[in-house]
């Protein structure tokens, strides 16, 4: 059996071990997947030890995604753009870093929710690690435009600068508008609004005016459970279609599993099982 794990701090809440156990059962892959609480100052050592003890790869969560990108010996373009990795693959040639968060949200929006991104107007709320992890994959879908809106405008500006070349390659209009700019122009509305902020964890209100929503907007929170509720309630109360990030969680796991094992797990089945379990 090949060992994998999710490394984080905290990590007790992580659903990844359950998801990967189901993937392993359903695909018949000899995979074992544990939870690893890694000391805040000990990430690099932990990764090295796990690989030496036969680990084949790992997922990485808060607060180690940036360090994971740094310590890898090779990295995908997505990781280079985001500066963050959530998946490491160990092999004789070293440690390869991938970021499957963006692939996960795109798969959940387009496949599971059945909402097309291509040609659409997208608003991305937030400019931290979660937003950075998704932006490259969203651009690859070739929406008409993506607006990044963040409380700290300078971070949104830096994030779009990082992705400017990619956006022009894919002919995506990419800009940064802060909350005031969105409020000042109520014609600024979007087909897809993605919440990648931690505002609900902070107990704060949704960092956007309701005028960004129209009647068929998909309002998507990258979080799930109580942390997503405030945003989902806000979206529903303004008539938008609300969706939490549980599907993103399962789909990013499926992308990691496929990368490690070369086998695509039945993610839709596992998503409906997990949703039933959490209800
Ligand atoms: P993550 O990895 O989850 O993205 P992060 O990098 O700390 O975590 O980013 C948190 C995001 O939530 C940022 O976009 C942050 O805005 P700032 O860049 O201005 O800090 C946003 N955020 C956190 N608390 C917020 C609040 N109360 N209102 C609005 N945005 C908030």
> pLDDT by residue (tens digit) across 101-141?
999 999 999 999 999 999 999 999 999 999 999 999 999 99
Give the model's pLDDT for residue 201.
78
155 a catalytic residue:
no
Mean local confidence (pLDDT), 58-79: 96
Is residue 10 domain-shared with residue 126, that is, in the same domain?
Answer: no
Same domain, 227 and 110: yes
CA of 79 to the centre of ligand 1 (A): 20
Domain CATH for 77: 3.40.50.10860
The percent of residues in the chain predicted with pLDDT above 90, rounded, is 97
CA end-to-end distance (rounded Å), the chain: 32
Do 138 and 225 fall into the same domain? yes
Span 223-238, average pLDDT: 95
Average pLDDT over all residues of the chain: 96
What confidence score (pLDDT) does residue 202 get? 77
Same domain, 136 and 197: yes
- Number of domains the chain is built from: 2
CA 48 to chain centroid: 25
Who lines ligand 1 at CB under 6 A? 126-131, 150-152, 155, 196-199, 202, 204, 207
**Based on the domain organization, do 124 and 252 belong to the same domain?**
no
For 142-163, letters b (16+ CB in 10 Å) and e give ebeebbbbbbebebbbebbebb
CA of 132 to the centre of ligand 1 (A): 11
Handedness of CA 255, 6, 81, 105 (dihedral sign): positive
d(CA 235, CA 221): 10
The residue nearest atom 11 of ligand 1, judged by CA position, is 197
Ligand 1: distance of its center to the CA of 197 in Å? Answer: 5
Q: Which two tokens stand for residue 61?
A: 């969560």
- The alpha carbon of 164 and the centre of ligand 1 are apart by a number of angstroms equal to 22
Please give the Cα distance from 95 to 73 (Å, whole number). Answer: 5
Q: Are residues 165 and 227 in the same domain?
A: yes
**ipTM of this complex prediction, to 2 decimal places:** 0.97
User: Checking DSSP bridges between strand 94-98 and strand 87-91, what pairing results, if any?
Assistant: antiparallel
Same domain? 85 vs 217: no
For residues 219 and 117, state if they share a domain: yes
Give the model's pLDDT for residue 197: 95
Asked if 145 contacts 173 with a C-beta cutoff of 8 angstroms, the reply is yes
Q: What are phi and psi of 277, to 5 degrees?
A: -65, -35
Residue to mutate, 62, 129, 179, 198, ligand 1, most ligand atoms under 8 Å from C-beta: 198
Distance of CA 219 to the CA centre of its chain: 15
Minimum CA distance residue for ligand 1 atom 21: 197
- How long is the chain? 279
Q: Could you list the residue range(s) of the whole structural domain that residue 196 is in?
A: 102-244
Test site for ligand 1: of 128, 131, 149, most ligand atoms within 8 A of the Cβ = 128
Measured distance CA(123)–CA(208) in Å, rounded: 10
What is the rounded average pLDDT of the residues 20-26?
98
Q: What is the CATH number of the domain that holds 239?
A: 3.40.50.720
pLDDT digits (tens, 9 = 90+) for 159-214: 999 999 999 999 999 999 999 999 999 999 999 999 999 887 777 899 999 999 99
Inter-residue contact 183 to 211 (CB < 8 Å): yes
* Residues 42 and 74 occupy one common structural domain: yes
Ligand 1 centroid–CA 182 distance in Å is: 18
State whether 261 and 160 are in the same domain.
Answer: no
Which pLDDT value is given to residue 279?
86
Tell me: do 235 and 185 sit in the same domain.
Answer: yes
Contacts of 240 (CB under 8 A, 6+ apart): 193, 213, 214, 215, 216, 217, 218, 219
Q: State residue 180's pLDDT score.
A: 97
- The best mutation among 62, 151, 195, 202 to test binding of ligand 1, ranked by most ligand atoms within 8 Å of the C-beta, falls on 151
Residues 229 and 258 in one domain: no
Distance CA 21, CA 28 (A): 10
Backbone CA torsion sign across 263, 136, 178, 218: negative
Confidence (pLDDT) at 199: 81
Q: Quick one: average pLDDT of 71-88? A: 95
């Amino acid at each position: 059996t090949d060992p994998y794990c999710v490394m984080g701090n905290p990590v007790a809440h992580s659903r990844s071990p359950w998801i990967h156990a189901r993937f392993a059962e359903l695909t018949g892959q000899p995979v074992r997947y544990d939870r690893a609480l890694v000391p805040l100052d000990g990430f690099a050592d932990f990764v090295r030890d796990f690989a030496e003890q036969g680990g084949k790869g790992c997922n990485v969560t808060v607060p180690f995604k940036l360090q994971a990108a740094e310590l890898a010996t090779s990295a995908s373009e997505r990781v280079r753009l985001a500066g963050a990795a959530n998946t490491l693959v160990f092999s004789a040639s070293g440690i390869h870093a991938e970021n499957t968060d963006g692939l996960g949200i795109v798969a959940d929006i387009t496949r599971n929710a059945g909402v097309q991104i291509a040609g659409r107007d997208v608003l991305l709320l937030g400019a931290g690690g979660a937003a950075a992890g998704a932006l490259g994959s969203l651009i690859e879908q070739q929406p008409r435009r993506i607006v990044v809106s963040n409380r700290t405008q300078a971070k949104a500006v830096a994030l779009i600068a990082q992705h400017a070349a990619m956006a022009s390659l894919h002919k995506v209009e990419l800009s940064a508008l802060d909350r005031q700019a969105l409020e000042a122009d109520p014609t600024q509305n979007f087909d897809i609004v993605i919440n990648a902020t931690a505002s609900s964890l902070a107990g704060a209100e949704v960092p956007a005016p309701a005028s960004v929503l129209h009647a068929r907007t998909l309002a998507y929170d990258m979080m799930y459970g109580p942390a997503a509720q405030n945003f989902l309630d806000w979206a529903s109360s303004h008539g938008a279609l609300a969706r939490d990030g549980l599907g993103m969680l399962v789909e990013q796991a499926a992308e990691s599993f496929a990368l490690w094992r070369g086998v695509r797990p039945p993610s839709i089945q596992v998503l409906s099982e997990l949703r039933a379990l959490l209800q």
